[in-house]
Amino acid sequence: MNRSGTADLRAATAFEVTKDRNGVDQVVLRNRRGASARVSLYGGQVLSWRTDQGEELLFTSSKAIFKPPNPVRGGIPICFPQFGNCGSLEQHGFARKKIWVIDQNPPPFLQHNDSNDKVYTDLLLKPSEEDLKIWPHSFEFRLRVCLTVEGNLTMISRIRNINCKPFSFSIAFHTYFSISDISEVRVEGLETLDYLDNLFQRERFTEQGDALTFESEVDRVYLSSSDVIAVFDHEQKRTFTIRKEGLPDVVVWNPWEKKSKSMVDFGDEEYKQMLCVDGAAIEKQITLKPGEEWTGRLELSVVHSG
């Protein structure tokens, strides 16, 4: 799990493998201050991220189905190797419906310093024979989920082409933030950007507002954004900050009332308590030559203002 030495001893108490009610392994991470994260090996999906006060920061629907092969409605599903229905695969690709394994011997993460103050788990997904029939590309998808001493949640993804031919993919970390009331939330960092509007056949528009606020269904892919986006929740007096590398696009989604009623795994009124803001690479697919590796990094933090 970690390199040997003192970090091992400190991290060992903060890393626990448990099973959910369907027998699927989950990894629970806890930092020294008491913040926590819970990651399911089903989908490599972060299901919970809590502050040291025990406050849950991610939304999961009360009607979420935790039984494979259903994806879990909430947390942070990984959409790979396809986002949405823009391709030949099922909606959002297959990675979120596969069992990942704990990677016992990950190659070193050279680009980011993993200090002793972090607790993390390394997961690995490789394609099955079944996967190769529908998407004939050999890959290794390594995911490090990390909780910093401040309680920030970091996800570092590395995807390597171990095929003899190039392949292309899109990816999104479909983060469901828990919010007090969608009408009291604004998103900053998307102003003046072009976006593809999925409610208008992916037509391209330009964002006119200084901040994004919500009064109806939103399903957009903002293109080539800055690497820092902020979600302000006025009622809760807290701000989520999304920092990203290698993920140029940002998906913003809220199903609103009508769509909510059509989803079996989502409560009719739950759209008020959630907002998806994803770090993603969608418009321009990432292409890897044989042996090449792509790295993407997402860091989520929260600040309370009162």
Instruction: Give binding residues as ranges.
Output: 73, 91, 96
| Binding-site sequence positions for substrate | 73, 91, 96
Which amino acid appears at position 134 of this protein?
A: I
- Give residue for tokens 């999906």: 45
Token pair listed for 188: 């900053």
Asked if residues 107 and 90 have their Cβ atoms less than 8 Å apart, the reply is no
Sequential DSSP letters for 7-58 = HHHHHHTTEEEEE-TTS-EEEEEE-TTS-EEEEETBTTEEEEEE-TT--B-B
Q: Collapse the DSSP code of 211 into the 3-class scheme (helix H, G, I; strand E, B; otherwise coil) and give the result.
A: coil
CA distances from 237 to 72, 200, 231, 243, 299 (A): 28, 33, 11, 20, 20
Q: Rounded distance, CA 254 to CA 106, Å?
A: 36
How big is the chain by its Cα radius of gyration, in Å?
Answer: 19
Beta bridge partners of 113: none
Contacts of 85 (CB under 8 A, 6+ apart): 91
Asked if residues 155 and 173 have their Cβ atoms less than 8 Å apart, the reply is yes
Q: Rounded distance, CA 215 to CA 222, Å?
A: 18
